[in-house]
Amino acid sequence: MLLAAGLGTRLRPLTELRPKPIVPVANRPLAAFAMDHLALSGVRSIVANSHPQPELVESTLSAACPEGVELRFSRENKLRGTGGGLRKAHVLFDDLQSSVIVMNGDTLFGPDLGRAHAEHLSRGAVATMILRRSSEAERFGAIGVDANGWVRSLLGAPHDDRADESLMFTGVHIFAPEAFSAFPESGCVIRSTYRQWVDRGAPVLGVIDESPWADLGTVAEYHRLNLALAEGSFTWPGVEPRDGCILPGAFEPSASVRRSVIGPKAEIAPGVQLDRCVVWPGTHVTGSATNAVLTPEHRIELS
């Protein structure tokens, strides 16, 4: 399942133009990166939830869905949170007796899903959280695991001497089929269902994966990731920079555009110089800029 119903409030004003799952990253809808990785991992059926501007999200993601993958949508007229979204979407899954991989649609992360799924099954977990080591674990909500990989604390509670390492949750889970009956009609799956599981000692597994991970919570992070993809310091299958830029097919690299991402049908006026800029599709750029995100309605300059 692909979680793609969030409001993206921290990414405003960009999400005033497009819902977060279809904000362009390296000239592709953001949630398409998660769909790509699911497909590369062997997934052939994806259910995505949608909420703001659902018709636009659904048509855009359908067009970006990898070949050979069936994509269905669970439309939420009222936002249900992660727990409620999972519960509502469950009836759309192909096999209600199989485990389900869940990925956030707003991160770029390519974990080894095959290994995590194998551990999930062999260890008999009701849920498996894919975790990573990070100095920012506390900011993202530290997950405490013991020496055998079992999750003993969530968000710092309860205190458990068996939790010998604090890790960051990546937003990727694997759930056993029986997990879905425990999800709330509405609300956060971590603060509700996981909280109950961990407090009573249910088998919740943590699998560490050190694959590169990027979150697009803010405009600054959005700008930074686009440029990392353009310069090649963050790589992703199918993203092919040219001379430190990501450009539409007909756009030729030039001295006037450096270290930037230029969207399809963008128009750059004669004499304009762009450096470290992200230009959205269809934007008419009339003035030079450095370290900026440019959309048809915004010029956001970053320090």
- What pLDDT digit, counting tens, does each position of 45-88 carry? 999 999 989 999 999 999 999 999 999 999 998 989 889 999 99
pTM: 0.91
Burial label, 4 (beta-carbon count in 10 A; 0-12, 13-18, 19+): buried
What H or E segment, with its residue span, contains residue 215? strand 213-215
Cα 204–chain centre separation: 22
Please write the tens of the pLDDT for every residue from 196-247. 999 999 999 999 999 999 888 899 999 999 999 999 999 999 899 988 999 9
Please write the tens of the pLDDT for every residue from 255-273. 799 999 999 999 999 899 9
* Distance set, CA 44 to CA 94, 105, 119, 295 (Å): 10, 17, 21, 34
> Is pLDDT of 159 > 90?
no
> Is pLDDT of 158 > 70?
no
Residue position matching structure tokens 């399809």: 264
Alpha helix (H) residue ranges in 25-128:
30-40, 54-64, 81-89, 113-123
For the chain, give every domain's residue range.
2-215, 219-301
For residue 29, what pLDDT is reported?
A: 95
Class of domain 2-215: alpha beta
Handedness of CA 259, 211, 222, 46 (dihedral sign): positive
